[in-house]
Amino acid sequence: MTDSTKLIVSHAPFYRDACTVMKRSYLIMAAALVAIIPGLLIFGIPAVGVCALAVASAILWELTANTLMKQTPTIGDGNAAMIGLILAMLLPATAPWWMVITGTFVAVIMSKTVFGGIGGNPFCPPALSAAVLMISWPHLMNFNGMLVNYDMAWSMVDPLINAKFFGAETADLYTTTDLLMGHQAGGIGAVCGAGLIIGGIFLMVRGINRWEICLSFLSGIFTSALLFHMSNPDLYAGPIFHLLTGYTLVAAFFLATEDASSPVNTIPMLIYGFGGGMLTVLIRNKGAWVDGALFAVLLMNLANPILDMIRPKALGKV
């Protein structure tokens, strides 16, 4: 006897849990704040200024675009504010005001609005914007140079610069506890590993972040860093160091998981995440740039439409 329910499908939408775009945006911002607040406490007033300006200018850019295009304002969905806040996580605390405003312009207008708004962007907006800033003004995204006036009880030399240019033994200057507590030079929301992990787990548990992307990204980092480290421990730092420094955790939990630019099927998600992690370490260890996380995310964004062609087989025949 055949199963009569096997070929019965209901039409979309299949599932609704009353979660709106606005709710998602504000939940992501809440998770980001868990990592940003320790950064604000460490870097002080200048960091507050950068975060506030990034969120405010992102909202105002989107409102301006809506007004010029005679559209109903979309700022209510919180997406622009979220983009601004995630971009602020990547910036140094002493970023000049014009760089923050340029960054949010690139993120909101050039990375999202020109592609049709939310859901149409092929690249993760904050990642694309930070990469543009890094290429345009590398000295303003150099944490060694931007944080010279911070006198801390811990080393304020960018761990990735140390490990890349002065040998893997410099990684010993940074203990795992220090890196988790935010005792390192880096972006406002990128230094506190513990905050990022807590925020990331919250987003995965709430189903906002797909765990497949986050965990495969981190396993890509771990595996490739481990292989490099095993091949030459004097030249390449170990996997824990790579997991807790630079933009790794921000990329895993806030950049690679961006809805429109990441895959929707399970196997593509795993390939996308693992590939992103691997590329990050490859660029760090072999490339010209100190941190490869942004470029790795953007390259995987580029591969996303092709990866998503790996689909489950449809049931039945036509």
Instruction: Evaluate whether 270 touches 216 at the Cβ level (below 8 Å).
Output: yes
CB closer to other proteins, 165 vs 264? 165
Q: CA of 157: how far to CAs of 84, 113, 124, 186, 284, in Å?
A: 26, 37, 28, 9, 16
- Reference 275, options 229, 237, 218, 232; nearest CA is 218
- Locate tokens 């850019």: which residue? 61
Which residue's CB is nearer to other proteins, number 46 or number 273?
Answer: 46
Residue 145 Cβ vs other proteins, minimum distance, rounded to whole Å: 4
* Cβ-based nearer residue to other proteins, 77 or 258: 77
Least Cβ distance, residue 242 to other proteins (angstroms)? 16
8-state DSSP, 16: -
CB of 114 or CB of 152, closer to other proteins: 152
Distance of CA 111 to the CA centre of its chain: 15
Helices (H) and strands (E) in the chain, counts: 14, 0
Q: Give least dist CB 122 to other proteins, A.
A: 25
30: which 2 tokens? 């809440």
Q: Could you tell me the smallest distance in angstroms from the CB atom of residue 216 to other proteins?
A: 29
Nearer to other proteins, 32 or 53 (CB): 53
Minimum separation from the CB atom of position 112 to other proteins (A): 15
* Distances 251 to 46, 66, 69, 77, 137 between C-alpha atoms, Å: 23, 29, 32, 23, 21
Nearer to other proteins, 116 or 167 (CB): 167
Minimum CB–partner distance for residue 167 and other proteins (Å): 7
Work out the angle at residue 171's Cα, subtended by the Cα atoms of residues 131 and 140, and round it to the nearest 5 degrees: 30
Binding site for other proteins (CB under 8 A): 22, 44-46, 48-50, 52-53, 55-57, 59-60, 63, 73, 75-78, 80-81, 97, 139, 142, 144-145, 148-151, 156-157, 161, 164-167, 235, 288
